[in-house]
A and B are shown apart, each in its own frame.
Chain A
């Protein structure tokens, strides 16, 4: 599925991060190719979320280099990361319940039409574009429905549609399947497939082994701030990954 000749969309070399005397990350190298789904696994405190926050621009790395689509990048704020095409779907989805699906998709980047000195919201254009995005994700979500009336799967679709709006090239999803029903997990994994089909690279941060094995091309295991394994999914097994996460097996 993956093309080894392609330029990696994200390339980390020797990324390290210290918080005072605590070494949260040590010399992490990682490549993500376009259209590739990489599972990022590890126990609490293994350094997953620090790594994600560095890629998303929340933290600056103490060491190492981040290259995005071939060129070196330095993020000071999350907005900078979003600017080059990195989107994060947060665990709690960051949706405003009292607004419609379309309003949430366009939150902070509303489409407007000018009427003389006034710039008024272009409701029709936003609803039409949102419907198109939901169509691409094959999610039965109406742009005019309030998010508060939606299922967990639909909410995920809204949060993911938001990343499609900016044509993100890398989407990081933080525990998207942690708190939803079995049927909705299927929907979310389906959404990840849709992103992949469109050439978007996805990093899936998850504790749920079956989900990682269902959608990922590759799995990266973190332990004690270091990358302990980076294997194509078909060359490993849930048992091996569990052993790597817990430390029963040091590295693979």
Chain B
């Protein structure tokens, strides 16, 4: 009765192997959008002699990095089958808090400031007691508010069961409103003795490579490892594939959901802080409607709004494609008003091609 387990390997007589070009990246939207991007780059090279100049490539790299980090975060959320519309407001609010805290801690007259700075002997220059400490605290404050907003999003969606669309639409408005409240609508500027470090860390470059691009590459690699080589990443995909199955197999669904919304908010916050370094200020209307660019980039790059599909490469490819088109239209001296129209066409085309491809297989 108790037969020994079969030790002989199975022979696959009826089940063929899926060919390499029908699996992995080759069979994904990310794959052919990447191909389209390559074609576009070649076309651009022949269309404009300026495209592949060092200055222009630096420009493109910098510009797409300005939305790509937030796109990585939103991709996490989209893979679980959710959506986060609050990223644009989040960018602004984090940037604003960061520069306000920095300014506050850098004013020698204030109660908090007297702990961190002192006046130089000339009576005009403000010096930091510990160089870099103000910068660190202000960035932590900016990321801290993002963390809180992400927790609220996650709590409402995972614990209270509200729809992600409605929750984050509400958060979009709440966070934008709070930004106006704390700044009185005036916006704020990073200032004080650590401002130079701040600018170096957000809009500087290392050996000609813009720092936002370096952050992006590091974060994208980290995201790839997390998504494909950790239990958390596996659970993120499972949640997007079949939430009920995830629950039945004992995956901590609530925790994973809260974690993705927090991750997304933190990515948006970091992105906002970097943008404010490049702008030199955090105006109260900063990054308005950026959530649409970010989500568009994620979707073009192959993240599926139905959940279960997406990744860092797709997020970056989507951002690069959008930026190359924008850049290309400028170089071709096409009115920049066409840009938005074209982006819309590309979103629909990318999803349409994916639909046709999945019908063919």
Give A residues with C-beta under 8 Å from B.
1, 3, 35, 78-79, 82, 90, 92-99, 103, 107-110, 112, 118-121, 123, 131-132, 134-136, 138-142, 145-146, 149, 154, 162, 197-199
Question: Does B240 sit at the interface, judged by CB under 8 A?
Answer: yes
The stretch from B3-11, B130-138, B320-328 touching chain A is: B3-11
A-chain residues with CB within 8 Å of residue B1 when the two chains form the complex: 1, 3, 35, 197, 199
A-chain residues with CB within 8 Å of residue B360 when the two chains form the complex: none
Q: Given A35-B2, A96-B237, check contact A142 B12 (CB 8 Å).
A: yes
Instruction: Verify B241–A97 contact, CB threshold 8 A.
Output: yes
Tell me the bound Cα distance from A3 to B1 in angstroms: 10
Task: Render B1-37 as a binary contact track against A, CB cut-off 8 A, 1 for contact.
Answer: 1110111111111110110000100000000000000
B245: which of A78, A107, A134 is its contact (CB, 8 Å)? A107
| Closest A residue by C-beta to B304 | A98
A-chain residues with CB within 8 Å of residue B8 when the two chains form the complex: 135
B-chain residues with CB within 8 Å of residue A92 when the two chains form the complex: 244
Instruction: Verify A99–B237 contact, CB threshold 8 A.
Output: yes
Instruction: Verify A119–B231 contact, CB threshold 8 A.
Output: yes
Instruction: Verify A97–B10 contact, CB threshold 8 A.
Output: no
Instruction: Verify A98–B5 contact, CB threshold 8 A.
Output: no
Q: Does more than half of chain B's interface fall in helix, strand or loop, or is it mixed? A: loop
Q: Sorted from nearest, which 3 A-B pairs have the closest CB atoms?
A: A96-B241, A98-B308, A94-B245
Instruction: Verify A110–B309 contact, CB threshold 8 A.
Output: no
How far, in Å, is B82 (CB) from chain A's closest CB? Answer: 15
Instruction: Verify A140–B13 contact, CB threshold 8 A.
Output: yes
Instruction: Verify B245–A96 contact, CB threshold 8 A.
Output: yes
A98: which of B17, B231, B309 is its contact (CB, 8 Å)? B309
Instruction: Verify A198–B249 contact, CB threshold 8 A.
Output: no
Tally of B interface residues using CB under 8 Å = 38
How far, in Å, is A45 (CB) from chain B's closest CB? Answer: 23
Instruction: Verify B15–A140 contact, CB threshold 8 A.
Output: yes
Tell me the bound Cα distance from A149 to B248 in angstroms: 22
Tell me the bound Cα distance from A85 to B240 in angstroms: 28
A-chain residues with CB within 8 Å of residue B248 when the two chains form the complex: 78, 90, 94
How far, in Å, is B248 (CB) from chain A's closest CB? Answer: 5
Q: Given A94-B245, A108-B250, check contact A135 B2 (CB 8 Å).
A: no
Tell me the bound Cα distance from A246 to B231 in angstroms: 48
Q: Given A103-B234, A121-B229, A131-B10, check contact A199 B308 (CB 8 Å).
A: no
Tell me the bound Cα distance from A131 to B6 in angstroms: 11
B-chain residues with CB within 8 Å of residue A199 when the two chains form the complex: 1-2
| Closest A residue by C-beta to B238 | A96
- A sample of 12 more A-B contacts (CB under 8 A), given A140-B10, A146-B23, is A95-B242, A96-B238, A96-B242, A99-B234, A99-B237, A99-B241, A107-B234, A107-B249, A112-B231, A121-B229, A138-B10, A197-B2
Instruction: Verify A135–B251 contact, CB threshold 8 A.
Output: no
A-chain residues with CB within 8 Å of residue B17 when the two chains form the complex: 142
Instruction: Verify B309–A94 contact, CB threshold 8 A.
Output: no
How far, in Å, is A11 (CB) from chain B's closest CB? Answer: 20
